[in-house]
A and B are shown apart, each in its own frame.
Chain A
């Protein structure tokens, strides 16, 4: 009995440790007091102020445009590459999978500074385009990793049957293979969108003056200390991303089962 209570307490404490800070951050975004940590009434004021701040609205717009475009492009490239990797010899497959894991395992700061070095070396102007290229780069591997399991489950005779019945390889891909792997493709796209929305480190190094994403905006605001406006912005981003992840988790489970 005592042992069970101890276990229960430990589990509860751990989950409180993980989620209480985020929960309090969200609660405090509704706190009327500007400076003090004590509670002084419920308000939507900080959320109103957020949407009146032009730089924040611009950051919101950039974040969504980049996330959408990066997810779209990464999904196309990633899906095509997954099909290619699936059909490779085992040796080539291992090589490509290692390349795919490179950005997944490399520390974000190294991805950030090395892309910065590349863009400056290529004499690209840092800004929207460089951000987009960077986001596509870190998104592609996740799309590949989401599509590959679906390809493995695919019946290899399906495509042969389509080809035997006179479909061109392109028709066979769009009418037979793609519908079958669609759940993986959509999951990959959602995953890419979420990661892009959420990214700070890579964006921080690859953006230029004047182009902010929400995360970069939040970072520059934290330099001035804690403010209820950052709490509100953080709460919004948190709830959005957690919502997306909830949807994703269910999909990913299905793919791997």
Chain B
């Protein structure tokens, strides 16, 4: 029983480096600003009120729209993939799923940069199309909203495939056989048996794609080229460039709240899916 005390170093570490930082951000988000931009510890709603200005609501709107779009595309591309992997034979399956796990543990920055190499005016795609004679002038692919969306789908697709796969691979096959024996067509089996049973995985996947998509700043920074300002860019800007930590904090708190709501929904489905390994 004495072993419990071994948790003290970690408890202290987590308190100082995980809990207090978040509290600090929460406090800053209600602090005023001195004329020189310093933090003044008097209570104000100003930082939240400022977020209600049209420019910032626009940023929120754009972030949410892009995150929703990328989530939908990830779902449309990822669901069939998860289904195909879950139906492959056991031997191939582990390699196929491993190839979806690997990218998740590599650097987002590098994977996003790889698309800069492909999309720029002198990039691989434009050179290829020009060589084929399809176009004469390079297309503007980089620094567009489309490029940001592509970057999101590319980076976050595995987050959709993995939880759906986790649910589908554990599916009780006798249910499908029963439906087939009772005369259901393969479309009916999918719509009435497989898909409803996989919904927990779809929900986990949706949240796991939406969360990083709504908070990213790398993808919009590299592929949007400063033209696509999202929540993440706004936070980064307020902390490192504008030095308005109070406002940056209030945006962070708004983002954390959005994510907490998502996690509360996810918590209900954690049992059935959402494993990353």
Contact = CB atoms under 8 A, between A and B. Distances in A.
B92 to A, nearest CB: 10
A133 B14 CA distance: 12
A28 interface: yes
A103 to B, nearest CB: 6
Main secondary structure on B side of the interface with A: helix
B14 A252 contact: no
Interface in B1-24: 1-7, 9-11, 13-14, 16-22, 24
Given A14-B77, A222-B222, A114 B21 contact: yes
A245 interface: yes
Contacts of B205: none
A245 B106 contact: yes
Contact of A113 (B25, B105, B113, B211): B25
B252 A113 contact: yes
Contact of B110 (A37, A110, A136, A234): A234
Interface in A64-108: 77-78, 80-81, 83-85, 87-88, 92, 96, 99-100, 102-103, 105-108
B75 interface: no
A256 B77 CA distance: 29
Q: How large is the interface on B (under 10, 10 to 19, 20 to 34, 35 or more residues)?
A: 35 or more
Contacts, number: 209
A137 B5 contact: no
Given A17-B154, A222-B222, A241-B105, A109 B235 contact: yes
Nearest to A231: B117
13 contacts: A15-B99, A18-B158, A28-B117, A78-B10, A80-B6, A81-B7, A84-B10, A105-B211, A109-B217, A109-B236, A118-B16, A121-B24, A198-B106
Interface of A: 7, 10-11, 14-15, 17-19, 21-22, 24-25, 28, 35-38, 77-78, 80-81, 83-85, 87-88, 92, 96, 99-100, 102-103, 105-111, 113-118, 121, 133-134, 136-137, 140, 144, 169, 194-195, 198-201, 205, 215, 218-219, 222, 225-226, 230-231, 234, 237-238, 241-242, 245-246, 249, 252-253, 256
